[in-house]
């Protein structure tokens, strides 16, 4: 095994080994790893050398924190042929590197190749880095996916009432964890899971691709994520999260392949992501009915910028429908949807309780949409019959401005709850081009909502009366704390192994 500490190599070679047998002292060994076994035979030392081509070039990358120690996945016996299971290699590497958690942290480099693996757990003060042309492939062997208990804020699995499978990359109660790369790929190989879900064969809920629970200081960036069994990126009960530079791809008919789902999490920055999904590109959640109410952890202080989404059957950004811990202070700007069912959608229902409030959206560019504005108070899926029918969600302070939309079927469908209207809705500076052949339909349909509008075409429903003077819906001028987090330039130094 090779550990690099600040560019210095530790091979465990005894100091009495003759210099000509020491690969560090011989430039002819520039492209090999030697694992040295010392055998004492009649007083002499014999060196056995296991050789493999493993030299990696130096590189820099942006990250919230840099690491003092480094290792390469192949140092732990991994084989990148796309067929050999590397679950033990990943777990061994991370277990070994966890000892450096309090000594500057460690980074594990995944080199080019196809690295088949089941679920594995990360550690604190740790970076998982995927080089260009590195592909982590999710195993199809269910025995390599440990079972986890249900999430306390959900009360049951999303696919089946009992437990759930661990995500491919998992961690809990971590601090300072980074998953990044030079656009390396993590492929969930989800098609077999989708088939089982559609045919009702699952007894446990499908795994996510990446899930971090009860964790702080998270970065997930500069990767391509493919074909998750269900949700791709799921930080839950966590804080201080940056998700940027991801390309997330799943077939548009794949079930529940949400892209990025912050869940009961706070201080989140989501920037510069491209998502093609069979479900919501981004969904902000906080628990389901009585279980989410009991846990009571809101999703809040979230900024979303420069998102591009394609999702013909779902939303660019969904708030809910599981929002029983509350959702507040969400900001979205400079976002694009193409061939997507709806833009920023609010989903809730009787029994959810809690709130969706202080939502600010500025700068939407939309093309080929069924709905531009869509709010639903009757999204009636429940975990069980124990929900409280008196637990009504409070939806208020919803602000949209500076929107351009083309090829639209319905401008707005805003449906609150009878006796519990959605209030404080503001829509300003909006131009919507409707599909001509469907122009006879009412462009807006509103019930149980209240608010205002300004400079909106086509003119909104009467429940959003036009302000006489020109008016811009509010958008916060302050910064969230996560916006001030700066990336450092971190390095992996090339060395002769």
Percentage of the chain lying above the pLDDT 70 cut: 87
Catalytic residue among 75, 263, 279, 402: 279
Q: What is the pLDDT of residue 493?
A: 86
Asked if the bond preceding 209 is cis, omega within 30° of 0, the reply is no
- 86 pLDDT more than 80: yes
- 11 pLDDT more than 90: no
Q: What is the pLDDT of residue 487?
A: 98
Q: Using the structure block, give the residue that is written with the tokens 């601090």.
A: 175
Q: What is the pLDDT of residue 56?
A: 87
Buried b (16+ CB within 10 A) or exposed e, 384-407: eeebeeebbbbbbbbbbbbbebee
Neighbours of 304 (CB within 10 A): 26
Convert the pLDDT of each residue in 419-445 to its tens digit: 999 999 999 999 999 998 665 678 999
| pLDDT, mean of residues 489-495 | 84
Q: What is the CA radius of gyration of the chain?
A: 26
Convert the pLDDT of each residue in 279-334 to its tens digit: 999 999 999 999 999 999 999 999 999 999 999 999 999 999 999 999 999 999 99
- Tell me the C-alpha to C-alpha distance, in Å, between residue 444 and each of 221, 441, 460: 39, 9, 6
Measured distance between the N- and C-terminal CA atoms of the chain, rounded to whole angstroms:
10
Helix (H) or strand (E) holding 192: helix 191-198
- 32 pLDDT more than 70: no
The mean predicted confidence, pLDDT, of the chain is 90
Active site residue 472: no
Q: What is the pLDDT of residue 441?
A: 76
Strand-pair partners of 107 = 70, 127
Neighbours of 157 (CB within 10 A): 21
The shares of helix, strand and coil residues in the chain, as percent rounded to the nearest 5, are 10, 50, 40
Cα–Cα distance, 265 to 325 (Å, whole number): 10
């Amino acid at each position: 095994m090779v550990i690099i500490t600040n560019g210095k190599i530790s091979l465990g070679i005894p100091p009495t080994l003759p210099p000509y047998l020491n690969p560090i002292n011989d430039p002819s060994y520039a492209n090999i790893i030697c694992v040295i076994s010392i055998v004492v035979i009649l007083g002499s030392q014999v060196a056995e050398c296991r050789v493999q081509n493993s030299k990696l070039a130096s590189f820099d990358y942006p990250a919230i924190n840099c690491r003092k120690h480094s290792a390469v996945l192949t140092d732990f016996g991994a084989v990148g042929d796309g067929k050999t299971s590397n679950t033990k290699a990943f777990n061994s590497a991370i277990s070994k590197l966890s000892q450096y958690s309090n000594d500057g942290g460690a980074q594990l480099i995944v080199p080019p190749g196809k690295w088949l693996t089941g679920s594995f757990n990360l550690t604190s003060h740790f970076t998982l880095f995927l080089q260009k042309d590195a592909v982590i492939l999710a195993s199809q062997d269910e025995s390599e996916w440990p079972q986890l208990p249900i999430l306390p804020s959900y009360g049951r699995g999303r696919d089946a009432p009992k437990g759930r499978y661990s995500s491919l990359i998992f961690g809990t109660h971590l601090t300072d964890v980074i998953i990044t790369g030079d656009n390396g790929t993590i492929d969930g190989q989800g098609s077999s899971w989708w088939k089982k879900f559609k045919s009702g064969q699952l007894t446990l809920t499908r795994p996510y691709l990446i899930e971090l629970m009860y964790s702080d200081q998270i970065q997930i960036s500069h990767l391509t994520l493919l074909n998750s069994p269900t949700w791709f990126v799921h930080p839950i009960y966590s804080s201080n999260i940056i998700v940027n530079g991801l390309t997330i791809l799943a077939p548009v008919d794949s079930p529940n392949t949400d892209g990025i789902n912050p869940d009961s999490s706070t201080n989140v920055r989501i920037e510069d992501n491209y998502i093609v999904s069979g479900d919501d590109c981004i969904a902000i959640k906080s628990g389901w009915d009585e279980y989410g109410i009991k846990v009571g952890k809101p999703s809040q202080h979230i900024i979303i910028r420069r998102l591009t989404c394609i999702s013909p059957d779902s939303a660019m950004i969904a708030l809910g429908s599981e929002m029983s811990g509350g959702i507040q202070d969400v900001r979205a700007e400079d976002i694009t949807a193409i061939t997507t069912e709806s833009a920023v959608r609010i989903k809730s229902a009787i029994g959810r309780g809690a709130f969706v409030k202080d939502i600010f959206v500025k700068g939407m560019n939309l093309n080929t949409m069924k709905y531009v504005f869509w709010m639903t108070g009757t999204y009636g899926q429940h975990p069980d019959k124990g929900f409280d029918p008196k637990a009504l969600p409070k939806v208020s302070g919803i602000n949209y401005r500076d929107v351009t939309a083309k090829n639209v079927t319905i401008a707005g469908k805003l449906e609150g709850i009878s006796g519990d209207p959605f209030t404080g809705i503001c829509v300003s500076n909006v131009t919507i081009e409707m599909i001509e052949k469907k122009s006879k339909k009412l462009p807006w349909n509103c019930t149980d909502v209240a608010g205002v509008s300004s400079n909106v075409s086509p003119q909104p429903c009467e429940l959003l009366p036009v302000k006489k003077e020109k008016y811009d819906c509010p958008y916060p001028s302050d910064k969230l704390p996560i916006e001030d987090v700066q990336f450092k330039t971190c390095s992996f130094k090339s060395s002769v192994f």
